[in-house]
């Protein structure tokens, strides 16, 4: 074994010459990782003149001669005029000075376990891009005039809301249920059925007056369910969204991931 398990600190070997090199390497690694503080976790462009000892968490889409060769979510450590990539491990905690928040590595990426307020466990806010489609899209052709979505995640609980609108919507070979795709997380595979709220334009279904968002288990696309007095609960299908119209749906849904 040539290095420590957790921080990958190099070990001295028997009768090693110039032992100070290995010792100094370990000290530098400790200096970087103990009380870990990063300049930023969102900066994507490699800085031209970083301070010696600076550490960055690398986001997806990073650019630069050194950064582009490093893995997403890695720690980019600048010392002695060169960049070094450090691989984080599950459970490591870092303070992001740019956003003034704590981050924790969960084994696959950095998350904000306390959120911006420092009071909520595993709190996250974000955006997503909702889409309109059908189970069999066929020749569906549409032009979006709005695609807006936002979510809040607290632990495994997700609340998502959004609006998707079209300015052109045509089909002739499309079939199946109407789908609103793009939800930020797949729902838990726990047997649950999740109903939300929706407001709509461009859906015509005789005898039905209420339409609600529906998310099945193990899914990240919503159905739209139709309800009416004396009518069975059914899904909105392609025939209920006429070709040549401009359908628009606003929705909200709460579910477990």
**What are the boundaries of each domain within the chain?**
35-108, 126-256
Other beta carbons within 10 angstroms of residue 145's beta carbon come to: 12
CA distance linking residue 10 with residue 1, whole number of Å: 9
What is the per-residue DSSP string for 180-249? EE--SSPPPSSS--EE-EEEEES---TT--EEEEEE-TT-SSEEEEEE-TT---EE-BGGGS-TT---EE
- What is the token pair recorded at 218? 């193990």
Going residue by residue through the chain, which has 257 residues, state the pLDDT in tens, using 9 for 90 and above. 565 555 555 655 666 667 656 555 655 666 556 778 899 999 999 999 999 889 999 999 999 999 999 999 999 999 889 999 988 988 888 988 888 888 999 988 998 876 555 444 678 899 999 999 999 999 999 999 999 999 999 888 999 999 999 999 999 999 999 999 999 999 999 888 899 988 889 998 888 888 999 999 999 999 999 988 888 989 999 999 999 999 999 999 999 99
């Amino acid at each position: 074994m040539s290095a420590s398990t957790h921080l990958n600190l190099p070990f001295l070997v028997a009768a090693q010459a110039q032992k100070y090199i290995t010792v100094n390497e370990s000290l530098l690694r400790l200096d970087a990782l103990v009380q870990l503080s990063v300049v930023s976790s969102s900066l994507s462009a490699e800085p031209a003149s970083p301070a010696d000892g600076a550490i960055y968490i690398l986001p997806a889409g990073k650019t630069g001669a050194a950064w582009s060769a490093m893995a997403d979510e890695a720690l980019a450590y600048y010392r002695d005029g060169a960049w070094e990539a450090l691989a984080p491990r599950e459970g490591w905690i870092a303070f992001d000075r740019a956003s003034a928040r704590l981050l924790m590595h969960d084994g696959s990426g950095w998350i904000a376990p306390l959120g911006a307020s420092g009071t909520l466990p595993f709190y996250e806010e974000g955006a997503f891009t909702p889409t309109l489609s059908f189970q069999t899209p066929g020749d569906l052709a549409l032009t979006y005039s709005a695609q807006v979505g936002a979510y809040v995640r607290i632990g495994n609980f997700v609340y998502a809301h959004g609006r998707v609108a079209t300015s052109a919507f045509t089909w002739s070979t499309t079939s199946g249920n109407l789908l609103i795709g793009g939800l930020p997380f797949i729902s838990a595979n726990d047997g649950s059925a999740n109903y939300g709220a929706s407001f709509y334009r461009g859906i015509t279904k005789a005898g039905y007056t209420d339409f609600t968002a529906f998310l099945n288990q193990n899914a990240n696309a919503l159905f739209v369910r139709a309800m009416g007095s004396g009518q069975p609960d059914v899904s909105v299908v392609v025939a209920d969204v006429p070709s040549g119209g401009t359908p628009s749906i606003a929705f909200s849904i709460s579910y477990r991931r």
